[in-house]
Amino acid sequence: MTSFLKAVLLCVTLSCSSPVIAAGPDCSRPLTLALHEHGLLYDSATDRGIDRDIADELIRRSGCKITVTVIQRARIWQLIESGALDFSLSGITNAERDQFAGFAWYFSNKYYLLVRRDAGVAGISDFPRNSTLRLGVIRGFRYSKTANALVDQLAEGRRVSFASGLDPLYELLLGNRIQGMIIEPFDYPAAENGKIREQSSILEFGDDPVPHGLIMSKKSLSTTEQGKWREIMRAMREDGTTQRIFEKYFPAELARTLTHFSD
């Protein structure tokens, strides 16, 4: 009797967590999804990360064949815009990106300035004042409002060094070629690592958390299809799957903070 009940409950749970069976997305063609290396989001060395898990869950729930590749972030946006790439993950929007991409939010986080201790920066506003300080950012990345303003201001003064990933930025920071870089909670493990931790401190920008989501190319996916993928992401959040994925990488409280937000 107990086994029977368990079986029934399992069936109900599976049917609830797999709404795509009824109105799933169009899987008639192979789809493409690109990851980018970024701290806990994805590490190609281990082929692990939050976005890897999210991608796997998407593939599982949709039942579609999705080819996952690793591409640098700036290139991902170009491919999404051109329609050559269907999906990517942990994207944030702006007016320009809204023109060519749709989003399905699954977490929200704040941005922080990782700054060398010897740079004499006590607050965010100290950084632009000292013209000798340079900021390192990942090409193609946008951040929260204040962080974007800082990047744009410094870029105007040619005080920004661009890199394709975080590792060169950490090297530049340790080599004092840059004195600050913008990080997210996914970068904590690297930032907490030995030398970096010794030589740097973390400042908060103070902006509201910025929602991150599944990026969908408007050129390759119709509005209807985008709605179906949004529905999958929503179901993942509602049934706690997303939070559980984050809990694999973050303390439970932080995982909850990151995944519980209002759209």
Task: Please say which residue, 44 or 224, places its beta carbon nearer to other proteins.
Answer: 44
**Residue 196 binds to other proteins (criterion: CB under 8 A):** no
Q: Which stretch binds other proteins (CB under 8 A): 167-175, 202-210, 226-234, 244-252?
A: 167-175
Size of the site for other proteins (CB under 8 A): 26
Q: Is 72 in the site for other proteins (CB under 8 A)?
A: yes
The reply on whether position 98 binds other proteins by CB under 8 A is no
Q: Which helix (H) or strand (E) holds 171?
A: helix 166-174
CB closer to other proteins out of 175 and 194? 175
Long-range contacts of 223-231 (CB under 8 A, 24+ apart): 223/102, 225/25, 225/26, 226/102, 226/104, 228/20, 228/23, 228/24, 228/25, 228/26, 229/25, 229/58, 229/62, 229/87, 229/104, 230/102, 230/104, 231/19, 231/20, 231/23
- Distance from C-alpha of 102 to C-alpha of 238, rounded to nearest angstrom: 20
As a whole number of angstroms, the distance between CA 168 and CA 100 comes to: 29
Exactly one of 60, 97, 139, 219 binds other proteins (CB under 8 A); that residue is 139
Sites for other proteins among residues 25-54 (CB under 8 A): 37, 44-47
Q: Is 177 a binder of other proteins (CB under 8 A)?
A: yes
CB of 53 to other proteins, least distance (A): 15
**CA distance to 18, 130, 164, 199, 243, per residue, from 209 (Å):** 30, 27, 24, 26, 16
User: Closest distance between other proteins and the C-beta of residue 132, in Å?
Assistant: 17
Of residues 98, 171, 192, 208, which one binds other proteins by CB under 8 A?
171
CA distance 187 to 77: 21
Q: In this chain, which of 165, 203, 225, 235 binds other proteins, going by CB under 8 A?
A: 165
Q: Which residues bind other proteins (CB under 8 A)?
A: 37, 44-47, 70-72, 74-75, 136, 139, 158, 161-169, 171-172, 175, 177
